[in-house]
Amino acid sequence: MSDRRPPAPSAARGAEPAVQEHLLLRAEGLVKTHHGEGAPARAVRGVDLTVRHGEFVAVTGPSGAGKSTLLHLLGGLQRPDEGSIWLEGRCTDSYSEARWAEERRRSIGVVFQFFNLISNLPVADNVELPALLAGRSPRQARAERKELFAELGLDGKERSMPGELSGGEQQRVALARALVNHPPLLLADEPAGSLDSRGTREVMRLLSRFHRRGQAIVLVTHDARLASAADRVISFFDGRIADDVKLGGAAARGTAISDVVELRPAADRD
């Protein structure tokens, strides 16, 4: 738990308010209990979390650990029972549903495991709609959409309905929709959870590419292969952060990269 908090940006002089100005997202004391049938489920039990601009954070843990609930809280899709969330320094405590919806158009993009595209709209419209809702002109919306489609290998699919595309293609449309308004933060909830291994690799490659251009990402996944693309991995257990680690800082024990395979399955096992 030693590096639970990322170091403060160097520009700040250690004073708390100055640090906050540099944070993309800050959550403190988040608690969320689900009251369904049976005993109440304490999905999130006191979580403090910060995400800096441009940071790529993966949250991993067993299913039922509460990691999706945590992501939903960060995106305002669910409201915490306790605790607060600040977006770029603004406290969201008093936000209405409508205000959160506006944030999700402007400053937070979200992709889900099952894509959640509007099934009776062509995929181009699925992507342009949030741009129009955010106040872009139809021409701007189309230009943004076109650029993303080219980038994501979706040229020629504009008039397809979501159901006519493969899972991997639908997830790329969902990614275009999430990014069309250039939100500083992308939230991804098991984005490869319903994809085959090729689709998984594709999503991993695209997330890494957007991250390299400065996109901040919070990725919830049970797949360590996906998580290892992040700079920082949070292990989530039983509604709490069990570990928070930066990857790739100090060189791992295997010095040369070609030692990595040898290090594990081949040589070490017996």
Partner 1 sequence: MRLPLLALLARGPAHGYEMKQALEQLLGSAYPQPNVGQIYVTLGRLEKAGLIRGEEVEQSSRPNKKIYHLTDAGLDELRGWFAEPEDEPRVRDEFFLKLALAPQTGLADQIALINKQRRQYLNTMRNLSKLAGAENRDNRIAQLLIEGAMLHLQADLDWLERCQEELEDPE
Nearer of residues 13 and 213 to partner 1, judged by Cβ: 213
Nearer of residues 65 and 123 to partner 1, judged by Cβ: 65
Residue 66 engages partner 1 in binding (rule: CB under 8 A): no
Report the candidate in 56, 48, 34 with the shortest Cα–Cα distance to residue 1: 48
Residue 158 engages partner 1 in binding (rule: CB under 8 A): no
Tokens linked to 28: 């403190």
What is the residue-wise DSSP string for 32-99? EEE--SSSPEEEEEEEEEEEETT-EEEEE--TTSSHHHHHHHHTTSS--SEEEEEETTEE-TT--HHH
Q: How far is the CB of 109 from partner 1 (least distance, A)?
A: 23
Residue 223 engages partner 1 in binding (rule: CB under 8 A): yes
Q: Restricting to residues 182-201, which ones interact with partner 1 according to CB under 8 A?
A: 197
Q: How far is the CB of 240 from partner 1 (least distance, A)?
A: 10
Tokens linked to 237: 């257990």
- Taking CB under 8 A as the criterion, the residue among 11, 39, 98, 266 binding partner 1 is 266
Stretch that binds partner 1, among 91-99, 131-139, 168-176, 229-237 (CB under 8 A): 229-237
Q: Restricting to residues 233-262, which ones interact with partner 1 according to CB under 8 A?
A: 233, 235, 237-238, 242-243, 245, 247-248, 252-254, 257-262
Q: How far is the CB of 245 from partner 1 (least distance, A)?
A: 5
What are the beta bridge partners of residue 41? Answer: 34
Residue 62 engages partner 1 in binding (rule: CB under 8 A): yes
